[in-house]
Structure 1
Amino acid sequence: MAADIASAPYALPLNEAPPAFYRFYAHIGVVGVFADVDAKIKAAGTVIPGSKMSVPATVAPALELGYRVTPNWAVSLSGGIPPTSILNAGGSIAAEGKLGSTVAAAPTLTLHYHFLQLGAFQPYIGGGGSYLIVFNSRDGSLSHLRVDGAFGVLGQVGTDIMLSERVGLFVDLKKGILHTNARGAFGPVPIKTSVALDPLALTGGVTIRF
């Protein structure tokens, strides 16, 4: 029994190619995104003292497609159904309530190293980049709301827990550094905001190799 487990493709020694090497894989699951917002809000070019912005967490279906260059090294592209994010006023402008909302996504491209010497438990670590794509912006107390697309960088850690050669479970954590700009108006007063979103994305679901 021990020999059978040791020889399975999901329990390989480091850098040893499996007899049946599945180069492609998919992570299918649900992602929760938690933004760590730091915003500098300016009215007519002057910072509004004590002003803040917050973005509540969102949950959406997620998909990551990966390709193993070697048994240990892989690249992947991840994304999902773009969620609606609410932009809320805080601090000295909290009375403004909901500033607006956006429908946006940040597809990520990452390179990661997979540790295969631990049997069915296969952790990985990596990093890469993302791009914020804003599909739609809706006004709230802030009129003529526009949010810019932006590039970001991120780190990634996670693990596959293989139930068989081809099917398993996964948990994945990505931490990004992503800054963008937003603009609009409070009545006749132009507003411009520099926003550090720095999101944390926690994903879990099913691994399928093919």
Structure 2
Amino acid sequence: MMTKMLKTAAAVLALALAAGPAVAAQGDFLVRLRAITVQPQEKVGPVLPTFPTSGGSITNAYAPEIDFTYMLTDHIGVELIAATTKHCVEGGGALAGVGRLACTWVLPPTLTLQYHFAPEGKIHPYVGAGVNWTMFYNEKASTQLNTAIGATNVNLSNSFSFALQAGVDFDISEKMFLNLDVKYVDMDTNARLTTGALVNNLRADINPLIIGVGVGWRF
């Protein structure tokens, strides 16, 4: 999937370099639609107290993402990012033999304040920083975990922290542009695993790197 994304980006970039410049200005409203890959830079702790020598990893995900940017000035914009992805925890250490432990859907709305370096010209790089609120929903223990230790209920705590962003817009026409975007989100959760009267806890620092390629429209 990433190979296709990069090939698409290269093709549209060629069109962008041949296009005339479009001026980004105060009051502009930008809408971008991206294909993203979410790659957790994770650190998964043990399942305590039952499996102190366990560990794990978190799967990557691919999804569409939409964002909305309003230009407060020619250089300053504020962006709201919305997407939802599904991730699973794979067991490690003492739980490596179980395999998949649980899966959850993640909804991480993110608000960033951006600085746009070149409002005039064909290429518009920007950087941003802001806040992220991550909600975990539809958490479910895997069949493998239920078989190994019994029917288990999974609950994940939400996360609130910072986000960093860098990207660039390449003009295709006066209103349309190609977008490349990278975000880092500081994200963590505490998982509560309830199996009958037994309660286990697991802490995971997820900290995803989110890489996106897409198109946008300027209004």
Normalised-by-shorter TM-score class: 0.7 to 0.9
Residues 111-150 of structure 1: matches in 2 within 5 Å?
111-116=113-118, 119-140=121-142, 141=145, 143-150=152-159
Q: Deviations over 1:124-180 (max 9, x none)?
A: 011111111122111111611111111121110000001122111000000111111
- Among 77, 82, 90, the residue aligned to 2:80: 77
Secondary structure class of the residue paired with 1:101: strand
Instruction: Give the percent of matched residue pairs that are identical in Structure 1 and Structure 2.
Output: 26
Partner of 2:218 in structure 1? 209
Q: Which has a greater percent of helix?
A: 2
Shift, 1:117, TM fit: 6.1
Quote the Cα distance in structure 1 between the aligned partners of 2:206 and 2:140. 18
Secondary structure class of the residue paired with 1:95: coil
- Among 196, 201, 207, the residue aligned to 1:198: 207
Shift, 1:110, TM fit: 0.2
Q: Which has a greater percent of strand?
A: 1
- Does the Cα contact within 8 Å between 1:162 and 1:168 map onto a contact in 2? yes
Paired AA for residue 63 in structure 1 = I
Paired AA for residue 68 in structure 2 = L
Moved more, 89-98 or 178-187: 178-187
Quote the Cα distance in structure 2 between the aligned partners of 1:152 and 1:120. 34
Quote the Cα distance in structure 2 between the aligned partners of 1:117 and 1:137. 43
Shift, 1:113, TM fit: 0.4
Q: Does 1:161 align with 2:170?
A: yes
Partner of 2:57 in structure 1? 54
Structure 1: 5+ residue runs without aligned partners? 13-17
- Does the Cα contact within 8 Å between 1:122 and 1:160 map onto a contact in 2? yes
- Does the Cα contact within 8 Å between 2:22 and 2:120 map onto a contact in 1? no
Moved more, 21-30 or 151-160: 21-30
Shift, 1:37, TM fit: 1.3
Say if 1:148 and 1:192 are closer, same or farther in 2 by CA, change over 3 A. same
- Does the Cα contact within 8 Å between 2:55 and 2:91 map onto a contact in 1? yes
Paired AA for residue 129 in structure 1 = V
Secondary structure class of the residue paired with 2:59: coil
Quote the Cα distance in structure 1 between the aligned partners of 2:41 and 2:27. 37
Quote the Cα distance in structure 2 between the aligned partners of 1:59 and 1:130. 19
Shift, 1:84, TM fit: 1.8
Tell me the matched-pair count. 193
Secondary structure class of the residue paired with 1:127: strand
Structure 2: 5+ residue runs without aligned partners? 1-19, 147-151
Shift, 1:77, TM fit: 0.3
Paired AA for residue 52 in structure 1 = G
Quote the Cα distance in structure 1 between the aligned partners of 2:91 and 2:129. 32
